[in-house]
């Protein structure tokens, strides 16, 4: 499967115009119908999607009076042919779909031919448009405009403009009193519109977006084509060092591209978790759950990452005709896709060190709204990143960096200070680092996936230890004794609810930890936990209790050994409980804070 066969965005540049037609009733019936215009933001969504479908590279949105006075979307797309203008706002009139079969391989955002008809019916809609073909034929000919009110054409005229379309909507809901009454407060609607545009800008980094709300620039992107740059422009944050690129290809299933923000960017809301399927921003429960399954164990409770992922699937494996707003889709091979998403997110966050940078996202209505025209940028790195300091280039993986760390000293008998080859500083929590190393060792041993096939060795305790269980615990523990033996824990029933523990697992060097003996009651309880996750909980508990404690002096040699071991694990940046192991003071952080 070639890359381009997946890629909806590449389609716009090679677009062939198909003539406008009114869908036959049997086609129209197959389309999930519904009222698409619920609020001003839905108008913007439809107009912006039309502009994207028209192959626009520059999309300007203007909003006045929270959209109730005026909404205007101007694009530089292919424009509308003059002879098609009059029919364009009739229901089920579209240039994107001709037959029922077309629904199986859609490459456009729109396809039901309903939006302009719905908008024209409940507002005053003016379309000024010049087709790219007309422009080529006669450069002098001014463009045509038509105004609809309540669905009827009420005015027409001509005006000069280059190819593209300007759609202006005034007096929204003027003839729908019920909607008018429910229209939301200005702030809410403006923030909906801003969030919507943020999503499209993130979804289409190659398109330049500009949003002006009541004569203030609310959002502006350069259309650089680089997602990291776009995100920096959107949030006015020095994001370039904090974004981890994602590229996953699953043959015949899907491709996933995008960025996942460093753990310091995690927020309390899901607002910054953005998933696009073939260029369409979607909210699909199963896919959101898959993303969450990837990051939940690796971030503090209640936190959600900044994440922009593009999922590309073959159009025939995707059904977008599920919901009128088209934010729900159905995937043919959903389970494979969800597994790929979970793994993509997990793999990034497992490697993502914490950072001392404080990152505050602007609120839903941007605090940085500026008056026209002079845009002023907050955030030091925005322009720098626009010049190509791209997050993707020249970044060795976290494991590679750890392998090359040079320990400098130990702080508070708890933290290893180490210098990376690029002169940045890493702080390594010695307990959590060791905990991660031991946890992965136990997990490999336990699941029998140990590459070198070393038999499990157990460390015989100097004195066997007796533990007392509750009745239900005793039953569960009894059943699990063979599994515990597989981990190096020799345990037997000692009559009644007592158990005798003779040995504990050894660490990756085959050394036993007498330290564990003091925690056997707690460990036995976790081995008897009435939960499907008991095995993992036990492994976490075991690693926590055998790991180096804080308050232990480490020699230079011991620090080096620990760092080498950490470089070999799959998730060096987080301990098994999900807390950070590494804190990174980047070079640019030092430069910025010292004002070098």
Residues that bind ligand ADP (CB under 6 A): 20, 46, 50-51, 54, 75, 77-80, 88, 93-96, 110-117, 165
Q: In what order do the strands lie in the sheet with 491-493?
A: 458-468, 498-505, 491-493
Note the maximum CA span of the chain: 100
For residue 28, the minimal CB distance to ligand ADP (Å) is 11
Contact call for residue 169 and Mg ion (CB under 5 A):
no
What are phi and psi for residue 211, nearest 5 degrees?
A: -125, 125
Residue 505 binding result from ligand ADP, Mg ion, none, given CB thresholds of 5 to 8 Å by partner type: none
Residue 134 binding result from Mg ion, ligand ADP, none, given CB thresholds of 5 to 8 Å by partner type: none
- Residue 592: alpha-carbon gap to chain centroid: 28
Residue number closest to ligand ADP, CB atom:
110
Nearer residue to ligand ADP within complex by CB, 77 or 324 = 77
Place of tokens 């460990």: 523
The span from the first CA to the last CA of the chain, in angstroms, equals 50
Contact call for residue 110 and Mg ion (CB under 5 A):
yes
**Closest to 265 in 3D by CA, of 247, 242, 289, 288:** 242
| E-assigned strand segments in 171-241 | 208-213, 216-220
Residue 324 binding result from ligand ADP, Mg ion, none, given CB thresholds of 5 to 8 Å by partner type: none
For residue 121, the minimal CB distance to ligand ADP (Å) is 11
CA distances from 30 to 22, 34, 63 (A): 14, 12, 34
For residue 331, the minimal CB distance to ligand ADP (Å) is 22
For residue 324, the minimal CB distance to ligand ADP (Å) is 11
Handedness of CA 212, 213, 215, 218 (dihedral sign): negative
Residues in the chain: 596
For residue 323, the minimal CB distance to ligand ADP (Å) is 14
Q: What is the DSSP string of 403-435?
A: HT-EEEEEETTTEEEEE-TTS-EEEEEHHHHHH
Residue 78 binding result from Mg ion, ligand ADP, none, given CB thresholds of 5 to 8 Å by partner type: ligand ADP
What are phi and psi for residue 406, nearest 5 degrees?
A: -115, 110
Nearer residue to Mg ion within complex by CB, 93 or 526 = 93
Nearer residue to ligand ADP within complex by CB, 172 or 547 = 172
Nearer residue to Mg ion within complex by CB, 79 or 110 = 110
Q: Which of 115, 121, 414, 562 binds Mg ion (CB under 5 A)?
A: 115
Residue number closest to Mg ion, CB atom:
110
Nearer residue to ligand ADP within complex by CB, 53 or 429 = 53
Handedness of CA 390, 272, 10, 72 (dihedral sign): negative
What's the CA gap between 451 and 173, in Å, rounded? 67
For residue 159, the minimal CB distance to ligand ADP (Å) is 16
Place of tokens 């999309």: 59
Contact call for residue 50 and Mg ion (CB under 5 A):
yes
Nearer residue to ligand ADP within complex by CB, 79 or 279 = 79
Nearer residue to Mg ion within complex by CB, 67 or 110 = 110
User: Applying CB under 5 A, which residues contact Mg ion?
Assistant: 50, 110, 115
């Amino acid at each position: 499967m070639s890359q381009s066969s997946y890629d909806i965005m590449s389609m716009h540049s090679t677009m062939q115009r198909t003539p406008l037609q009114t869908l036959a009733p049997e086609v129209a019936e197959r389309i999930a119908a519904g009222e698409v215009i619920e609020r001003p933001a839905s108008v913007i969504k439809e107009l912006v999607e039309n502009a994207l479908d028209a192959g626009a590279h520059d999309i300007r949105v203007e909003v006045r009076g929270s959209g109730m006075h005026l909404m205007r979307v101007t694009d530089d797309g292919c424009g509308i042919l003059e002879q098609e203008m009059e029919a364009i706002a009739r229901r089920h009139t579209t240039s994107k779909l001709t037959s029922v079969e077309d629904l199986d391989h859609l490459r456009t955002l729109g396809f039901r031919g309903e939006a302009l008809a719905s908008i024209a019916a409940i507002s005053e809609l003016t379309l000024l448009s010049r087709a790219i073909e007309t422009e080529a034929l006669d450069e002098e000919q001014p463009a045509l405009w038509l105004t609809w009110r309540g669905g009827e054409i009420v005015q027409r005229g001509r005006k000069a403009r280059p190819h593209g379309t300007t759609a202006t909507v005034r007096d929204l809901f003027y003839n729908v009193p019920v909607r008018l009454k429910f229209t939301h407060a200005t702030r809410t609607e403006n923030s909906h519109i801003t969030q919507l545009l943020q999503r499209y800008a993130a979804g289409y980094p190659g398109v330049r977006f500009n949003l002006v709300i009541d004569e203030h620039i609310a959002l502006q992107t350069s259309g650089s084509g680089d997602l990291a740059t776009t995100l920096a422009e959107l949030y006015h944050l020095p994001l370039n060092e904090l974004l981890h690129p994602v590229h996953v290809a699953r043959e015949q299933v899907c491709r996933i591209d995008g960025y996942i923000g460093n753990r310091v960017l995690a927020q309390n809301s899901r607002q910054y978790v953005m998933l696009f399927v073939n260029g369409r921003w979607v909210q699909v429960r199963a896919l959101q759950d898959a993303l969450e399954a990837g990051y939940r164990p690796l971030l503090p409770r209640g936190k959600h990452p900044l994440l922009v992922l593009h999922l590309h699937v073959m159009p025939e494996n995707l059904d977008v005709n599920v919901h009128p707003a088209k934010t729900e889709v159905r995937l043919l091979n959903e389970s494979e896709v969800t597994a790929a998403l979970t793994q993509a997110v997990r793999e990034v966050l497992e490697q993502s060190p914490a950072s001392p940078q404080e990152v505050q996202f602007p609120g839903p209505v941007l605090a940085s709204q500026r008056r026209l025209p002079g845009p002023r940028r907050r955030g030091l790195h925005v322009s720098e990143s626009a010049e190509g300091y791209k997050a993707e280039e020249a970044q060795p993986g976290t494991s590679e960096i750890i392998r090359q760390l040079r320990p400098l000293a130990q702080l508070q008998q708890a933290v290893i200070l180490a210098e990376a080859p690029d002169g940045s500083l890493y702080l390594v929590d010695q307990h959590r680092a060791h905990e991660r190393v031991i946890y992965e060792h136990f997990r490999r041993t336990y699941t029998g996936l140990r590459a070198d096939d070393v038999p499990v060795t157990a460390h015989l305790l100097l004195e066997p230890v007796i533990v007392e269980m509750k009745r239900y615990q005793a039953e569960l523990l009894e059943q699990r004794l063979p599994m515990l033996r597989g981990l190096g824990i020799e345990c037997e029933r000692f009559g009644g609810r007592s158990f005798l523990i003779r040995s504990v697992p050894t660490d990756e060097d085959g050394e036993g930890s007498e330290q564990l003996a003091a925690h056997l009651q707690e460990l036995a309880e976790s081995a008897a936990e009435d939960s499907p996750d008991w095995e993992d909980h036990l492994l976490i508990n075991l690693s926590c209790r055998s790991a180096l404690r804080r308050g232990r002096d480490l020699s230079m040699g011991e620090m080096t050994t620990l760092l080498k071991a950490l470089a070999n694990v799959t998730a060096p940046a987080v301990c098994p409980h999900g807390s950070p192991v590494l804190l990174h003071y980047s070079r640019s952080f030092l430069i910025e804070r010292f004002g070098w």
